[in-house]
Structures are given as C-alpha cells and as structure tokens.
Amino acid sequence: MDVLITVFLPLALAIIMFSLGLGLTLDDFKRVFAAPKAFGIGALAQTVILPIVAYLIVILFQLPAELAVGLMILSFCPGGVTSNILTKFARGDLALSISLTGIISLVAVITVPFLVAYFAEHFMGVDAPPVNVTSLAVAMFLITAVPVVLGMLLRHFAPGLTGVIERPVEQLSVGLFVIVVVGALAANWTLFVDNLAVLGPAVVVLNIVLLAIGLGLARMFALDGRQATAIAIETGIQNATLGITVGSLIVEQVAALPPFSLPSGVYGITMYVVSLPFVFWRRSLAS
C-alpha cells in the first residue's frame, strides 16, 4: 500500500495530467479572451458555486468530519480529461471545455492548498492534520502543472509524435483512473460501507445539482446549447484522481489511503451513473 500511495498514485495523476496537456494548445488559452462570457460563467460555476454547493451538502447530510473534508477537497478540483471526452461525445463546445479544464487545473495548484488547510481546520478543529500549504502546493505543481506543460510542449514541438501517442496515453489515463478509484474504495471499504447510506446519496445529489446549476447558469446568460453542455459537464465532472491524491498528501506517513480520499473515490464512480443520461440527452438535442 505504501508503494501505491507514494509512487503509483502520483505517477498515475501525472500521466493523466500529461494526457490533458497533449490536448492543449496556446489557442485554448486565447479563447478565454475570444469568448470571455462563456469562460467566465464556467469558471464561476466551477471555482465558486461548486464549493458552496458541496459545503451545503456536507451540512445537509451531516457528513462525518473526515468525509466532509474529503468532499470539500473534491469540490476544489477542476474537471479532468473525462470532462473533455464526455463534452465531445455530448456534442458540446469542446474548445470551451478544454480551456476550462486546462486553465482551472493550473489555477488549482495555487488555490487548493489554502482551501484544504482552511476547511480541514474548519471541520476537524484540533484533530485536523497539519496541512503544510507550501509542500502541498509544490507537490501539486510537480504532479499536475509540470505534466500539463510537458504535454503542451510535446504537442507544439513534435506534433507527429503527439498524434501517434495521444490516443494510447488517453486510454492509459482512463485505465489508471479506474485503478485509483477502485484502490481508494478498497482501502476504505469498512468506512465506505458504514457511511454508504449517507455518502452515496450526498455525492449523487451533489452531482445532479451541479449539472443543473451549470446548465441553468448558461441558459440564464443566454449561451448557446453547445456552450451550456460544456459548462454543465465541466461543473459536474471532477478530477477524482486529483481529489484522491490530495487526500493522501495531507496525511504524513500514511500506510493506506485515508478517509479524506473516499468521497473522491465514490464520486469517481457515481458521476458516470448520474452524468451519462445527461450526456446522451444533450447529444440527442444536438443531433
């Protein structure tokens, strides 16, 4: 289990983020200025509204302190490669989805450590693990931002090679995601079973509300259907692997994945069950 946490988990996340970087170009960042309203609404939904909704879910379902921190960690995470794939399948605005995922993933390196430290103390008080904001920020930078940048550089300087490896790396990242999620559940199986009646409904309700809010905000601001689809999926689909990894990073000398990682592990499964009907619905409207 030590090898899983100290080597495999960070490596898996790095490969997933590298896969994200392979799909990014500088033009994806320039689109922020070309379509600022759509990007702004998506960023607002993901960075502000999502954590607020997660906090309300924690209070409503009265989650235990460690699981409350874990759910908040999940809410601070950006979308991932999965959100881009689902947006493409739903015939949403893929460029907007990629822009949101890429930029918010980089911003998360700065925001997540501070937010995790605050909410760990908020929910756990003196029992909260000592979160070293600097160490967490450095670790996140190395396993998220650096792989994204490397992927972008490879795409820019070696487009031919990128075309060859992009699909296999994407498939590998999906496989690693499944392994990480299953590992998080297995490591906390007793806690999962004991809290299934509360945690299961909590993450399902969170996912449904986030999809509805993302779609509702887009419609409120008169965005087109493809943009609305992208924003809804980006709001409802989170990088569960990052949530699991951050949950393990805030505990020193951990011998097993801690309870902080469990909500992300559960959400990593239920988000597909909840989101796929929405994705097929949006696809049918776009056809």
Can you give the pLDDT at residue 255? 57
Does residue 279 or residue 176 have the better pLDDT? 279
| Domains of the chain with CATH codes | 2-286 (1.20.1530.20)
Q: According to DSSP H, which parts of the chain are helical?
A: 2-3, 9-22, 26-34, 36-44, 50-61, 65-76, 81-89, 94-124, 133-140, 146-157, 159-187, 189-220, 225-236, 240-249, 262-286
pTM of the model: 0.90
Question: What mean pLDDT is predicted for residues 41-46?
Answer: 94
Question: What mean pLDDT is predicted for residues 176-191?
Answer: 80
Give the range among 35-39, 43-47, 150-154, 254-258 with minimum mean pLDDT.
254-258
CA–CA separation, 182 vs 185, rounded Å?
5
Question: What mean pLDDT is predicted for residues 35-63?
Answer: 94
Handedness of CA 281, 179, 13, 197 (dihedral sign): positive
Question: What mean pLDDT is predicted for residues 125-153?
Answer: 89
Q: For the segment 153-168, what is each residue's pLDDT rounded down to a tens digit?
A: 999 899 899 989 988 9
Can you give the pLDDT at residue 188? 77
Residues contacting residue 8 through CB under 8 Å, at least 6 positions apart: none
Cα–Cα nearest to 187, from 247, 141, 132: 247
DSSP for residue 260 = G
Q: Is pLDDT above 70 for 256?
A: no
Give the range among 142-156, 162-176, 208-222, 253-267 with minimum mean pLDDT.
253-267
Rg (CA), the chain: 18
CB atoms within 10 A of CB 177: 22
Can you give the pLDDT at residue 194? 82
Q: Is pLDDT above 90 for 3?
A: no
Q: Is pLDDT above 80 for 41?
A: yes
251: three-class secondary structure by DSSP: coil
Question: What mean pLDDT is predicted for residues 119-134?
Answer: 90
Tokens of 1: 């289990």
Residues contacting residue 6 through CB under 8 Å, at least 6 positions apart: none
CA–CA separation, 132 vs 140, rounded Å?
12
CA–CA separation, 243 vs 262, rounded Å?
9
Q: For the segment 7-33, what is each residue's pLDDT rounded down to a tens digit?
A: 777 888 888 889 888 888 887 777 777
